[in-house]
Copies of this chain bind each other. A is one copy, B any other.
Amino acid sequence: MSSNAARAGHGESRQDAILDAAERAFAADGYQGAAMRAIAEAAGVAQGLIHYHFKTKEKLFEAMVARRSDQINARRAALVAALFAQGDPPRLEQIVEALFRPTIETGLDLARDGGAFARILVSFANSADPRDQKLIEVHYDPIAQTFIDALMRVEPGLSRADAVWAYMFAIGVGMTMMAKTGRPARLSGGICDDGDAEAMLSRIVPFICGGVRALVEG
C-alpha cells in the first residue's frame, strides 16, 4: 500500500482532507477570506503540504470545485438520460427536479458539511469574475446545454433563446434555495423555512414550470 492510500481509521487521504477543509473554509469565509493557514489547521496538516499537493490557493479552489461538480453533474446527466429513456416523454416538472435534486442531496447526503458546497455555488454562479466564469464554463456549461435541450424537447413551443433565458432564471431561483440565508423566516414571521430543502423544492418546481410555460405562451 502506498503511503497516500486510504488513511488509517477513516479511509481518507490527506489530499481529500485538505479538499474537505477547503470546501468548508471557502463556503464560510469566501475565496479571499479563507486563509491557507486556517485550511491547513482544519485539515490537520502543515500549510506547506497544501502547496506541495495543489501549488497555489487558486488551484486548490479549482480542484475543490472540480471534485464536487463532476460528482453532481454526472448524477444530473444520468437523471435526465433516464427520463428520456422511458416510454413516454418526461414532464417539465421532472426535468426541473433533476436540475436541483443532485445538488441539494450532495449537500445533505454528505451531511458533514452542512451544504458547504451549495453555498460556494451560490457565491459563484452569479460572479462576473473571469476566473469564476472560466470554472463555470468548464464544469457547468456542458450540463447546462443538456438541460436547455431537455427544456426544448418537453416544451416544443420554446425557442432556443427562451430556453437559455429559462435555464438562467431557473438557476437564479435555485440559488435562493441553496443560500440558506434565513431571510424567508424573517420575512414570514417564521412560517417559511429555507433550511427545509424538500419543502422549498415543492414550491420551486411549480414556480419555475409556471415561468417557463409563460415564456412559451408569450
A62 at the interface (CB under 8 A from B): no
Does B215 contact A183, Cβ atoms closer than 8 Å? no
Does A128 contact B181, Cβ atoms closer than 8 Å? yes
Does A161 contact B188, Cβ atoms closer than 8 Å? yes
Total copies of this chain within the assembly: 2
Taking CB atoms, residues of chain B closer than 8 Å to A212 are 207, 210
Taking CB atoms, residues of chain B closer than 8 Å to A119 are 128
Given contacts A145-B187, A161-B188, contact A214 B209 (CB under 8 A): yes
Does A203 contact B187, Cβ atoms closer than 8 Å? no
Taking CB atoms, residues of chain B closer than 8 Å to A64 are none
CA distance A183 to B136 in the complex (A): 9
Does B206 contact A215, Cβ atoms closer than 8 Å? yes
Residues in A lying within 8 Å of B, measured CB to CB? 29-33, 119, 122-123, 126-128, 133, 136-137, 141, 144-145, 148, 160-162, 164-169, 171-176, 179-184, 186-188, 191-192, 194, 200, 203-204, 206-215, 217-218
